[in-house]
Structure 1
Amino acid sequence: MKAIPLPEIEGAFLFEPTPHVDDRGFFSRTFDKEVVRSVGIDPDAFVQDSVSRSAFAVLRGMHLRTGRGEAKMVRCSYGRVFDVIIDLRPGSPTHLNQKHLELSDDSQVTLYVPAGCAHGFQSLTSPADVSYRIDRAHDPAEDVTIAFDDPELAIPWPFPPLLMSERDRAAPSLAVALGRT
């Protein structure tokens, strides 16, 4: 497994596994404590694993947390997703930068999303399972949602969303969510 920094988002990484493929399929390590530690991320900080399953063109996001934020490791364990992270850390050298990428079960690549970055994805297959490793227990009072279709962000979603949560559909603009208006 190797760690690949994402220059668009300071502190974001892709963790690319080395699958062992044969006639049966493949075996792949999806988390390696020492590789994570080697890029300055505390592997012992993660306290919760979660998974979501989405039908085709379901859109989830854009989400982040207030307070000290929430770092997460995200991997598409089945299917394919169009994944988006946006750097919303005011002092970051990559503030307001975006990174769009496809995560899939073929690659089993894990994306590390630093605290203070918004995250969302749209499923490209039905189903698409996304696994999360999160560094703090969930507190709904700290949840922030930003409009997926905010013109300031202009995220190039592959499809019009076929289904979203009411919370995501009613999310405020980036300016409102961040208290700029």
Structure 2
Amino acid sequence: MSTFGTIAGVQVKPLVRHPDDRGFFEEVVRADEGLLSRFGQLSAAWTYPGVIKAFHWHARQEDLWFFPVGHAQVVLYDRRPGSPTQGVTQVLYAGEDVPVVIRIPIGVAHGYRVLGPTPLCIVYLTTEPYNPQDPDEHRIPWDDPAIGFDWRTQFR
């Protein structure tokens, strides 16, 4: 069973919004921040309310996740042998009301659940472009007992 905490190498960058009477502007990722070791690909996906997209991990690529529309519960699990946080689960909340960028290191399993009644947009950058002949996508079931995460919303 995993424990909850902060995973080594995961970075959460709060974003700064610059609002005016027309809307707002915010920088998401800059090359001079060093969040990714290199640039591979920029992608976006739309996910419907209540959907869980979990888990997968990468052997070669780092990810940066950003949710400009909607709300997400992000779950990370450190499956890296020898990591000081091996076996730790980290839960983050991100989205239009919590504007952050999340850096996911190589070997950390990750997934998310859409929260609320509206769809979610995820924009993500990776250090490797997707290769259909040799995909760096290693799947783990969303309810894997080794991770042991309960995706149900808990009301107290």
What TM-score, normalized to structure 2? 0.85
2:94 counterpart SS class = strand
* Structure 1 unmatched runs, 5+: 1-6, 160-181
Higher helix share: 1
Deviation at 1:106, TM superposition (A): 2.3
In 2: Cα distance, 1:18 partner to 1:85 partner: 24
Deviation at 1:144, TM superposition (A): 1.2
Q: Choose between structure 1 and 2 for higher RCO, CA contacts under 8 A separated by at least 6 residues.
A: 2
Match for residue 108 of structure 1?
99
2:150 counterpart SS class = coil
Q: Extract structure 1 runs of 4+ deviating beyond 3 A.
A: 139-142
The answer to whether residue 13 in structure 2 is matched with residue 15 in structure 1 is yes
Match for residue 127 of structure 2?
135
Match for residue 167 of structure 1?
none
Question: 2:143 is matched by which residue type in structure 1?
Answer: D
Match for residue 142 of structure 2 among 143, 148, 167: 148
Deviation at 1:128, TM superposition (A): 0.2
In 2: Cα distance, 1:145 partner to 1:29 partner: 31
What TM-score, normalized to structure 1? 0.74
Fraction of identical pairs, as percent: 27
Corresponding residue pairs, total: 146
What is the 5 A alignment of 1:90-105?
90-105=81-96
Deviation at 1:16, TM superposition (A): 1.1
2:72 counterpart SS class = strand
Question: 2:50 is matched by which residue type in structure 1?
Answer: A
Deviations 1:6-63 (A, max 9, x none): x7111110111111122322211111222x22x7x43xx1210111101101111101
In 1: Cα distance, 2:151 partner to 2:70 partner: 17
User: Contact between 1:50 and 1:133, CA under 8 Å: does it hold in 2?
Assistant: yes
In 2: Cα distance, 1:128 partner to 1:118 partner: 20
CA RMSD of aligned residues (A): 1.8
User: Contact between 1:82 and 1:158, CA under 8 Å: does it hold in 2?
Assistant: no
Question: 2:12 is matched by which residue type in structure 1?
Answer: L
Deviation at 1:158, TM superposition (A): 3.6
* Structure 2 unmatched runs, 5+: none
Match for residue 47 of structure 1?
40
